[in-house]
Amino acid sequence: MVSKVAGVTEVTDADFETEVIDAELPVLVQFTADWCGPCRQLAPVLRDIAREEGDRLRIVQLDVDRNPGTTVAYGVLSTPTLMVFRAGEPVKSMVGARPKRRLLQELSDVL
Protein backbone atom coordinates (compact mmCIF):
# COMPACT_ATOMS: atom_id res chain seq x y z
CA MET A 1 0.00 0.00 0.00
CA VAL A 2 1.30 3.44 -0.91
CA SER A 3 0.78 6.23 1.59
CA LYS A 4 1.41 9.87 0.80
CA VAL A 5 2.50 12.60 3.22
CA ALA A 6 2.43 16.15 1.81
CA GLY A 7 3.80 15.32 -1.62
CA VAL A 8 6.19 12.58 -0.48
CA THR A 9 4.96 9.03 -1.13
CA GLU A 10 6.03 6.10 1.03
CA VAL A 11 7.02 3.03 -0.99
CA THR A 12 7.88 -0.55 0.00
CA ASP A 13 9.85 -3.49 -1.38
CA ALA A 14 6.56 -4.75 -2.85
CA ASP A 15 5.76 -1.64 -4.91
CA PHE A 16 9.25 -0.19 -5.52
CA GLU A 17 9.37 -1.41 -9.11
CA THR A 18 5.96 0.03 -9.99
CA GLU A 19 6.43 3.32 -8.13
CA VAL A 20 10.12 4.02 -8.89
CA ILE A 21 11.58 1.81 -11.63
CA ASP A 22 8.59 2.16 -13.97
CA ALA A 23 7.96 5.88 -13.24
CA GLU A 24 7.91 8.31 -16.15
CA LEU A 25 9.41 11.20 -14.15
CA PRO A 26 12.78 11.06 -12.42
CA VAL A 27 12.27 9.79 -8.84
CA LEU A 28 14.20 10.88 -5.76
CA VAL A 29 14.15 8.07 -3.19
CA GLN A 30 14.95 8.87 0.42
CA PHE A 31 16.13 5.74 2.20
CA THR A 32 15.07 6.55 5.76
CA ALA A 33 14.32 5.14 9.21
CA ASP A 34 12.09 6.19 12.09
CA TRP A 35 15.11 6.42 14.45
CA CYS A 36 17.17 8.61 12.06
CA GLY A 37 17.49 12.22 13.27
CA PRO A 38 18.98 13.61 10.03
CA CYS A 39 16.13 11.90 8.12
CA ARG A 40 13.62 13.87 10.18
CA GLN A 41 15.58 17.09 9.51
CA LEU A 42 15.41 16.37 5.79
CA ALA A 43 11.65 15.65 5.72
CA PRO A 44 10.45 19.30 5.48
CA VAL A 45 13.06 20.02 2.79
CA LEU A 46 11.79 17.10 0.71
CA ARG A 47 8.14 18.14 1.23
CA ASP A 48 8.97 21.66 -0.02
CA ILE A 49 10.79 20.33 -3.07
CA ALA A 50 7.96 17.87 -3.80
CA ARG A 51 5.48 20.77 -3.83
CA GLU A 52 7.69 23.01 -5.96
CA GLU A 53 9.12 20.46 -8.42
CA GLY A 54 6.29 17.91 -8.53
CA ASP A 55 5.85 18.34 -12.28
CA ARG A 56 9.53 17.48 -12.92
CA LEU A 57 10.51 15.18 -10.04
CA ARG A 58 8.69 12.63 -7.90
CA ILE A 59 9.86 12.16 -4.31
CA VAL A 60 9.32 8.95 -2.34
CA GLN A 61 10.69 7.49 0.85
CA LEU A 62 11.50 3.92 1.75
CA ASP A 63 11.94 2.74 5.34
CA VAL A 64 15.16 0.70 5.44
CA ASP A 65 14.09 -1.35 8.47
CA ARG A 66 10.78 -2.45 6.96
CA ASN A 67 12.12 -2.90 3.40
CA PRO A 68 15.48 -4.69 3.55
CA GLY A 69 15.28 -6.15 0.03
CA THR A 70 15.44 -2.82 -1.81
CA THR A 71 17.89 -1.40 0.73
CA VAL A 72 20.35 -4.25 0.15
CA ALA A 73 19.77 -4.33 -3.61
CA TYR A 74 20.96 -0.72 -3.93
CA GLY A 75 23.81 -0.99 -1.41
CA VAL A 76 22.38 1.51 1.06
CA LEU A 77 24.57 1.50 4.16
CA SER A 78 23.52 4.69 5.96
CA THR A 79 20.52 6.96 6.34
CA PRO A 80 19.47 9.24 4.93
CA THR A 81 20.62 8.12 1.52
CA LEU A 82 19.07 9.99 -1.39
CA MET A 83 19.08 8.21 -4.74
CA VAL A 84 17.71 9.59 -8.00
CA PHE A 85 16.31 7.11 -10.51
CA ARG A 86 15.72 7.98 -14.15
CA ALA A 87 14.34 5.45 -16.66
CA GLY A 88 14.60 2.74 -14.01
CA GLU A 89 18.29 3.27 -13.27
CA PRO A 90 19.98 5.02 -10.33
CA VAL A 91 21.74 8.09 -11.76
CA LYS A 92 22.77 9.96 -8.60
CA SER A 93 23.35 9.10 -4.95
CA MET A 94 23.88 11.39 -1.96
CA VAL A 95 24.29 10.58 1.73
CA GLY A 96 23.28 12.81 4.62
CA ALA A 97 20.90 15.67 5.30
CA ARG A 98 21.43 18.97 3.51
CA PRO A 99 19.69 22.33 3.26
CA LYS A 100 17.14 22.89 0.51
CA ARG A 101 19.34 25.23 -1.56
CA ARG A 102 22.23 22.73 -1.63
CA LEU A 103 19.95 19.82 -2.47
CA LEU A 104 18.37 21.73 -5.34
CA GLN A 105 21.85 22.58 -6.66
CA GLU A 106 22.85 18.91 -6.48
CA LEU A 107 19.65 17.91 -8.29
CA SER A 108 19.92 20.53 -11.02
CA ASP A 109 21.56 18.11 -13.49
CA VAL A 110 18.73 15.57 -13.16
CA LEU A 111 15.78 17.98 -13.23
| Residue numbers annotated as active site | 36, 39
Q: What gap in Å lies between CA 60 and CA 8, rounded to an integer?
A: 5
Long-range CB pairs of 88-93 (<8 Å, 24+ gap) are 88/21, 88/22, 91/26
> Which of 36, 41, 33, 40 is CA-nearest to residue 63?
33
User: Is 27:81 a contact under the CB 8 Å cutoff?
Assistant: no
User: Cα Rg for the chain, rounded, in angstroms?
Assistant: 12
